[in-house]
């Protein structure tokens, strides 16, 4: 009996401290869920990736212009998880504000995350949280794992996720090009930003092969 009273208080405390703490099943809202089309993404340092994300909460009518979403980088060696992206204009984001963007429209249950100019320090696990007028939905069970590789690697972008029977698995839109000239790299990074800005109208990024290409792009 005492445990049932203390756990909700512990949940509030953990949320206030910025740590994603998972309650036992009996205390969770069965009407909330998060669908990540990917379990993990791999992107070359300096380039960009889009992580598709959908969520469900109850009540449905809580979604409005006043709802705020937050993406956190789960820190293993600190007590606080790092906020990397939000649509809350009053919330300060340190260090990643220009590179991480909550690009999805929360009014349509879209919590997609854009990561641009990826850095090695971006590697790790990320989780999503939703907040409105004192109500908070923490999606701690569904996390995305990000892996950032060295720029010197002539590797292919890899993404992994869940495939439903009879349905083709959707992959993240990844632009992955390895090259030797820094100027060309910045040019392609600008192209990457351009195509991400066209989402959701364009779901596939394609371009003619050139003599500077040394690795392939894996697309769905």
- In a domain, residue 213? The reply is no
Q: Is the pLDDT of residue 171 over 60?
A: no
Residue 180 reports pLDDT greater than 80: no
| For residue 68, pLDDT beyond 50 | yes
Residue 8 is predicted with a pLDDT of 42
Say which residue the tokens 């937050």 belong to.
70
Q: Which residues pair with residue 43 across a beta bridge?
A: 148
Q: Considering Cα of 144, then 79, then 131, then 200, what sign does the dihedral take? A: negative
The helix (H) or strand (E) run that includes residue 70 is strand 68-73
Q: Residue 132: which CATH number?
A: 2.60.40.10
Question: Of all helices (H) and strands (E), which one includes residue 14?
Answer: helix 2-16
pLDDT at 23 exceeding the cut of 60: no
* Per-residue pLDDT at 30: 46
Structural domain includes residue 218: no
CA gap 156, 175 in Å, rounded: 10
212 part of a folded domain = no
Query: Could you list the residue range(s) of the whole structural domain that residue 101 is in?
Result: 29-197
With 60 as the cut, is the pLDDT of residue 214 above it?
no
Listed in sequence order, the residues at least 6 apart from 50 whose beta carbon sits closer than 8 Å to its beta carbon are 103, 112, 113, 114, 115, 172, 173, 174, 196, 199
Q: Is residue 220 included in any domain, yes or no?
A: no
Contact 70, 128 (CB under 8 A): yes
Considering the domain boundaries, does residue 91 fall inside one?
A: yes
CB atoms within 10 A of CB 109: 17
Inside any domain, residue 13: no
Structural domains in the chain (count): 1
Per-residue model confidence (pLDDT) at position 153: 53
Q: What is the pLDDT of residue 50?
A: 92
Q: Tell me which residue of 147, 139, 75, 133 sits closest to 109, measured CA to CA.
A: 139
* 5 found inside a domain: no
**What's the pTM?**
0.62
């Amino acid at each position: 009996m005492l445990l049932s009273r203390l756990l909700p208080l512990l949940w509030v405390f953990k949320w206030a401290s910025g740590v994603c703490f998972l309650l036992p099943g009996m205390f969770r809202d069965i009407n909330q869920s998060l669908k990540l089309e990917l379990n993990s993404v791999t992107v070359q340092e300096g380039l960009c990736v889009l992580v598709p994300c959908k969520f469900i909460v109850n009540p449905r009518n809580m979604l409005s212009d006043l709802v705020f979403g937050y993406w956190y980088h789960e820190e293993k060696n600190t007590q606080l998880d790092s906020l990397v992206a939000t649509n809350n204009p009053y919330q300060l984001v340190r260090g990643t504000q220009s590179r991480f963007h909550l690009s999805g429209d929360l009014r349509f249950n879209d919590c997609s995350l854009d990561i641009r100019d990826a850095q090695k320090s971006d590697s790790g696990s990320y989780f999503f949280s939703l907040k409105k007028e004192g109500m908070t939905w923490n999606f701690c069970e569904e996390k995305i794992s990000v892996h950032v590789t060295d720029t010197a690697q002539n590797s292919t972008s890899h993404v992994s996720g869940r495939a439903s029977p009879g349905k083709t698995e959707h992959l993240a839109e990844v632009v992955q090009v390895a090259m030797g000239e820094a100027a060309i790299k910045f040019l392609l990074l600008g192209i990457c930003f351009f195509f991400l800005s066209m989402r959701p109208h364009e779901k596939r990024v394609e371009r003619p092969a050139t003599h500077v290409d040394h690795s392939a792009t894996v697309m769905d």
